[in-house]
Structure 1
């Protein structure tokens, strides 16, 4: 049996183009979801997965109207593969029933791993602190020796305001 899936994001206009393409592709049942980019909840997709069985074909209009990320795409394609369900994306001309299916699965897996690696990298946020822990310790020692904050700031090489902010924290 041929099933269709259409995904409408909040900022999309409507599903008309997707639905027409899926009907033209011979989909007997078409499941649709509307999501925002925050929740990502897709109840119709979960229902669709429960209806699929070996030998069925899942057809989507475009990959970005099927998966929420490259990682999600890899996850869903792998799930379909395990179920024995073929996958077709009309716009990208992807068909897992072809001899290129193993290559596609490996490509999707590599892209998903790449995306996970990029997202997992720690990114520094904000500006680099002007005063290090060592500089602050030195300033505190100087102030304890009865130097003024202004004099201590000059010695460690920061402004008086920077030193005051650091002392306050």
Structure 2
């Protein structure tokens, strides 16, 4: 190789390395901004929920990472087969939430509910009877843990008039939150 060819090759290598360096810097800068990503939900085991839901039977539980929140939800057995029913939503965020995200297709009443306590703190609940003779419970609870909030929303309906709805009083903090 002559001197001119070697110089051209060195120039191309330097240009390539410079481009890679710039792309790497740009990618690193974007990674800091990547906090706005939303990931697909992952199915998890019940013990991976931040708040354990007691003895109520779950069908499946999920976790989804959002920009500034982590969502957890557990689908419960649903003998009414209506959307938005029989779900427990748990959201870890910087601030307490008053309502569950719209995607869950339910909201808790704005009026004051019955105040009660479970092992993780105070909560409000609303119990109603349906036209078909069933009953529903909605509950809302916010818990502060080391600078973060866990907002818990429960919506559960059943046609079984004899079913006890007091399981909301059995929610417990998961051992998975020990470092929280």
- After TM superposition, the score normalised by the length of structure 2 is 0.24
More helix by percentage: 1
More strand by percentage: 2
Structure ID, larger Rg:
1
Greater RCO structure (CA 8 Å; 6+ sep): 2
- After TM superposition, the score normalised by the length of structure 1 is 0.25
